[in-house]
A = this chain, B = another copy of it.
Amino acid sequence: MNNYYALINRITARPGKRDEVIEILLEAGSPFQDNPACLLYLVNADARDPDVIWVEDLWTSKEAHATAMAAPPMRPQVARALPLLVGMPEQTEIIPAGGKGL
């Protein structure tokens, strides 16, 4: 699974804004449905912290991810989301080793 590019993103919304941020993240990711380079894009709410969102990303390559992020439809979504966040997303790059689900 060595060429894959995977990320865990921890995003903190301003109080009361998590649902709105989740909607933006789901809209922003809707083009990924038709992008075969995107293997996984899961948006999750933290079960304990009412402001935290976790996004799990898996792409066929780092370049494919960068290309998708640079696509014109992504920019207005990012511009909408950023004022609703506390700080910037914490992005952790991870290297898939195996398991189930691919």
Chain A contacts to B: CB under 8 angstroms: 6, 8, 22, 26, 29, 32-33, 38-48, 54-56, 58, 92-102
Contacts and interface: CB of A to CB of B under 8 A. Distances in A.
A6 B43 CA distance: 11
Contacts of A94: 44-47, 54
Contact of A99 (B26, B47, B95, B98): B26
A26 B98 CA distance: 7
B47 A101 contact: no
Contacts of A98: 22, 26, 42-43
29 contacts: A6-B42, A6-B44, A8-B8, A8-B56, A22-B97, A22-B98, A26-B99, A32-B100, A40-B40, A40-B99, A42-B102, A43-B96, A43-B97, A43-B98, A43-B99, A44-B96, A44-B97, A45-B94, A45-B95, A45-B97, A46-B92, A46-B94, A46-B95, A47-B93, A47-B95, A48-B93, A54-B92, A55-B99, A58-B101
